[in-house]
Each structure stands twice: as C-alpha cells, then as structure tokens.
Amino acid sequence: MSLAARNALIALGITIVLTGTVAYAISYLNRARVAELSAIGDKLSIDILSLDTQFSLLTAAPCDSNASSTTLISELADMGTRLAYAENQLGSDNAQVLRLKDQYSLLEIRDYLITKQLAAACGTKPPVMVLYFYSNAGDCADCDRAGYALSYLRDTYPKLRVYSFDYNLDLGALKTLIAVTKVKNTLPAFVINGKPSYGFTSLTDLEKQFPKGALATTTSKL
C-alpha cells in the first residue's frame, strides 16, 4: 500500500471517529435535555397536586398563621428559572416546553388566587402581588430587562409575589386572567396590586409603580 493510500485511510478513520463522537455527544445532550424537561414536568405535576391539597387543608383552618404562611412561591421562582433555561436550550416553540409553560402558568394562577382567597377569608392584608406579562416572540425589546428587574425585587423582598406569564401562550385560563385584569397587548405589562402599567425604563421607575411604602414594609434580605 502506498503512503498516499495509507494516509487517506488514516484520514478517513479519523473522520469517522470524529463524526461518531460528535453524533454521540449530540445524542447524549439531547437525552439529557429531555430527561431534565421530564423532571421539571414531574415536579410541576406534583406541585400542582400539592397546591390543591394545601388549599383543601387550609379551608379547614384558613386563618391558622402557621399554615397559611406556607406557600410554593420559592419553588415557583426556582421552577421558573429552570423552565427559562429549558426554553433557551430547546426554543420557545418546542412542544414539550410549551406544555410545561402551560402547567407552570396554571400553577402560578392557582397560587395567585389562593393567596387572595386566604387573605379575604381571614381579613388580613394580602402580600404585594405583581402579574408580569412578557413576550419572547421578538416583539418586546424591554422584556428581558423588565424580567431581570423583577427578579432582583423578588430576591430582595422575599414576601413579594411575582407571577410571570407569556402573553402569547395559548392557554384558556391565562386568556381569562388577561381579560379579567384588562391587560392590553402592550408589553412588558405589569399588574401591581390590581393596577396595570406598561413599558419598562429602569428599576427605579418600576419601583415607583408600587403603592407607597409597599416595598418598605416587605421584609427584605439583610
């Protein structure tokens, strides 16, 4: 065998090995992503059931201070972060991502309604709640900045309730929430303690949208 033929065979072998390695790596990453999405989905399903069960328990003693203070808000924030990561990895139009966003949005709506119902039943002041509507369809230049600002406020004030929704999500419950709160398709949009506002310029301006003293009376991290 000539030297040229030998070198050609070696080059071919290396190419085959590299191609196989890349294909395996891509397959492995895809399987890992699917597994991660499945885990998020399982967690969401469990938390939906948990929230329903929690509400049933609280209706028996809705004004018990120890019981009513137990919520899924921190878990919601964590799942929202993981779901955003999955969406960035697989795309906002991925079927499984959309299904998980539906589940996550339903969980947020349920927590929002339960929090309001408990406050009304017990005659207590509800926490400051923010409904945040965004779009990741490329038609909202300020949505990312608004999301980061709300994440900062949520981390700074742990009792602040922030619920984030994709305005374009094809979900009946979300469309009803949009209709009830009368939120226009001018994004980013906020409903802060029932009052809608639109657009985002800075964190300082966003803070001014909150009722006077609302953030000051919310326990902040030291």
pLDDT above 90 as % of the chain: 29
Question: Which of these three, 68, 101, 126, is where a domain ends?
Answer: 126
* Judgement on whether residues 15 and 116 belong to the same structural domain of the protein: yes
Domain carrying residue 61: 1-126
Which tens digit of pLDDT belongs to each residue from 122-144? 888 888 899 999 998 889 999 99
8 A C-beta contact, residue 99 and residue 40: no
Q: How confident is the model at residue 84 (pLDDT cuts 50, 70, 90)?
A: confident
Q: How far is CA 85 from the centre of its chain?
A: 10
The pTM of the full predicted model, rounded to 2 decimals, is: 0.74
Q: 180: domain CATH number?
A: 3.40.30.10
Angle, in degrees to the nearest 10, between helices 73-90 and 95-122:
160
Render 31-88 in DSSP notation, one character per residue: HHHHHHHHHHHHHHHHHHHHHHHHHHHHHHSTT-HHHHT--SHHHHHHHHHHHHHHHH
